[in-house]
Amino acid sequence: MREGTVNDIQTTTLEVDEASAPLSGLDRCDSCGAQAYVRATMESGTLLFCAHHAAKHRDALQPLAQVWHDETAKLQER
Protein backbone atom coordinates (compact mmCIF):
# COMPACT_ATOMS: atom_id res chain seq x y z
CA MET A 1 0.00 0.00 0.00
CA ARG A 2 1.41 3.32 -1.01
CA GLU A 3 0.34 6.69 0.25
CA GLY A 4 -1.20 9.16 -2.13
CA THR A 5 -2.77 6.69 -4.49
CA VAL A 6 -6.33 6.78 -3.21
CA ASN A 7 -7.64 7.50 -6.68
CA ASP A 8 -6.04 4.41 -8.12
CA ILE A 9 -8.91 2.10 -7.47
CA GLN A 10 -7.80 -1.48 -7.29
CA THR A 11 -9.89 -3.29 -9.82
CA THR A 12 -9.58 -7.00 -10.25
CA THR A 13 -12.00 -9.21 -12.08
CA LEU A 14 -14.76 -6.68 -12.43
CA GLU A 15 -16.07 -5.13 -15.60
CA VAL A 16 -13.80 -2.20 -15.20
CA ASP A 17 -15.20 -0.06 -17.96
CA GLU A 18 -18.67 0.18 -16.54
CA ALA A 19 -17.56 0.38 -12.95
CA SER A 20 -15.05 3.16 -13.50
CA ALA A 21 -16.82 5.17 -16.18
CA PRO A 22 -17.33 8.81 -15.23
CA LEU A 23 -20.65 9.76 -13.74
CA SER A 24 -22.78 12.23 -15.62
CA GLY A 25 -25.50 14.69 -14.73
CA LEU A 26 -27.99 12.01 -15.69
CA ASP A 27 -26.86 9.79 -12.85
CA ARG A 28 -29.11 10.39 -9.86
CA CYS A 29 -28.81 9.53 -6.20
CA ASP A 30 -30.87 6.47 -5.34
CA SER A 31 -31.88 8.06 -2.05
CA CYS A 32 -32.87 11.60 -2.95
CA GLY A 33 -32.62 12.09 -6.71
CA ALA A 34 -29.87 14.69 -6.60
CA GLN A 35 -27.00 14.43 -9.01
CA ALA A 36 -24.89 11.40 -8.16
CA TYR A 37 -21.21 11.76 -7.46
CA VAL A 38 -20.53 8.29 -6.12
CA ARG A 39 -21.23 4.92 -7.69
CA ALA A 40 -20.91 1.84 -5.54
CA THR A 41 -20.68 -1.29 -7.60
CA MET A 42 -21.92 -4.09 -5.42
CA GLU A 43 -22.15 -7.79 -6.06
CA SER A 44 -25.91 -7.39 -6.29
CA GLY A 45 -25.95 -4.30 -8.47
CA THR A 46 -25.02 -0.66 -8.67
CA LEU A 47 -25.93 2.09 -6.24
CA LEU A 48 -25.68 5.79 -6.95
CA PHE A 49 -25.33 8.44 -4.30
CA CYS A 50 -25.06 12.18 -4.12
CA ALA A 51 -22.20 13.51 -2.02
CA HIS A 52 -24.46 13.80 0.99
CA HIS A 53 -25.75 10.25 0.92
CA ALA A 54 -22.38 8.85 -0.10
CA ALA A 55 -20.91 10.30 3.06
CA LYS A 56 -23.82 8.95 5.06
CA HIS A 57 -23.58 5.39 3.72
CA ARG A 58 -19.88 5.13 2.99
CA ASP A 59 -18.82 3.51 6.24
CA ALA A 60 -21.38 0.77 5.83
CA LEU A 61 -21.19 0.20 2.11
CA GLN A 62 -17.67 0.91 1.00
CA PRO A 63 -16.21 -2.25 2.60
CA LEU A 64 -18.81 -4.28 0.71
CA ALA A 65 -18.43 -2.57 -2.63
CA GLN A 66 -16.42 -4.10 -5.41
CA VAL A 67 -15.77 -0.63 -6.75
CA TRP A 68 -16.34 2.60 -4.90
CA HIS A 69 -16.23 5.19 -7.62
CA ASP A 70 -16.07 8.57 -5.92
CA GLU A 71 -16.23 11.83 -7.82
CA THR A 72 -17.05 14.03 -4.87
CA ALA A 73 -13.67 15.66 -5.33
CA LYS A 74 -15.26 17.42 -8.29
CA LEU A 75 -17.42 19.32 -5.86
CA GLN A 76 -14.43 20.63 -3.97
CA GLU A 77 -12.29 21.59 -6.94
CA ARG A 78 -12.99 25.10 -7.95
Say if CB 31 and CB 49 are below 8 A apart: yes
Of 53, 65, 68, 70, which one interacts with Zn ion (CB under 5 A)?
A: 53
**Residue 39 sits in the site that holds Zn ion (CB under 5 A):** no
**Residue 29 sits in the site that holds Zn ion (CB under 5 A):** yes
Of 48, 50, 65, 67, which one interacts with Zn ion (CB under 5 A)?
A: 50
Q: How far is the CB of 55 from Zn ion (least distance, A)?
A: 10
**Residue 72 sits in the site that holds Zn ion (CB under 5 A):** no
